[in-house]
Amino acid sequence: SKIGNGYAHAKIILMGEHAVVYDYPAIALPFSAVQVHVQVKASQHSTSHIDCQYYAGPIDEAPSMLANLNRAISLTLDSFKILSQPIQITINSNIPQERGMGSSAAVSVAIVRAICDYYDIDISDKQLQLIVNQAEVIAHESTSGLDTLMTSSNNPVIYRKSQTPRPFELALDAYLVVADSGQAGQTKLAVSHVGQLKDRKPELVKELMSAIGNFVQQAYDAISEKDVQKLGRLMTYNHYYLNQLGISNPTLDHIINAAWLGGALGAKLTGGGLGGCVIALASDENSAIEIAQVMQDAGAINSWYFRLS
Ligand code: PMV
């Protein structure tokens, strides 16, 4: 009998988080070391069922934490006027949640793709993103659409709030190490903290933001000049400024310090902050392995690395 398959990967913000809220540029990357795979097949039951890490049972009775997935499913069926026989949706994901990796968008992307594959529907990227963004509104209230874009495409992008994201070529003789602090990221809290700081110290925050914006622009140039040393330094500067904005914490700083001392060309927190993940730039694979190890020794619960090409 027929099976539909759908896939998506995680995302990482390389530089520019938080400043991007104030319309400065940021750089984001697809991160395919962690992935979600979804299978759709005919249901054994009289109703559609979903099976994931948190719940297995009828979709209609799924807990509210899966409301966004439910929405992605019904939007897909409605959009393509599918009169669905009961289906069984099985989700396998190793993307950590609440780490700024875009896990919820990734699961929705994979679900929509799997349903379309099952029904032989050729969905465009635009249609896919429209559906997933609508589902993401349920999970995150407001969404920049960045997670949807990054988890469904293979290109790095540089983007600003006021502009459409621009994909670009990233091919460097260097490795990015990603380490999970084990603490949930707190994007909402961090964004509101920065907002409050801005109200109290507008000049300071404006200068920090505009400096971050400059680092991102310089990083973009360093990438096209293949200057990995410079990219590393810029990542490190970016972290100092994020720290000044108050969105790092002792756990993240400890792991980042370990990466610096362990030979990283640069290291910083990634995503919303106050927890979540940190990233480090390594000059070669051996160095990446060593940096991943020292980050784990410093408390990271998991780590990955990949070549920036
Ligand atoms: O934690 P993430 O990956 O969702 O990243 C948040 C990025 C911020 O700039 C802090 C917030 C935003 O909406 O852009």
How high is the ipTM of this complex? 0.95
Range 94-106 average pLDDT: 94
pLDDT > 80? residue 143? no
pLDDT class for 142, splitting at 50, 70, 90?
A: low
pTM of the model as a whole: 0.94
The CA 191 to ligand 1 mean position distance, Å, reads 8
The CA 214 to ligand 1 mean position distance, Å, reads 18
Other CB atoms closer than 10 Å to residue 38's CB: what's the count? 29
Percent pLDDT > 70 in the chain is 99
Q: Is there an atom of ligand 1 within 6 Å of 100 CB?
A: yes
> What is the chain's mean pLDDT, rounded?
95
Query: What's the confidence (pLDDT) of residue 286?
Result: 98
For residue 26, which atom of ligand 1 is closest to its CA? Answer: 9
The CA 66 to ligand 1 mean position distance, Å, reads 21
pLDDT class for 82, splitting at 50, 70, 90?
A: confident
For residue 19, which atom of ligand 1 is closest to its CA? Answer: 9
pLDDT > 80? residue 2? yes
Q: How would you class 186 by CB atoms within 10 Å of its CB: exposed for 0-12, middle for 13-18, buried for 19 or more?
A: buried
pLDDT > 80? residue 140? no
Query: What's the confidence (pLDDT) of residue 285?
Result: 98
The CA 149 to ligand 1 mean position distance, Å, reads 14
Query: What's the confidence (pLDDT) of residue 199?
Result: 97
Range 245-272 average pLDDT: 97
Q: Is there an atom of ligand 1 within 6 Å of 144 CB?
A: yes
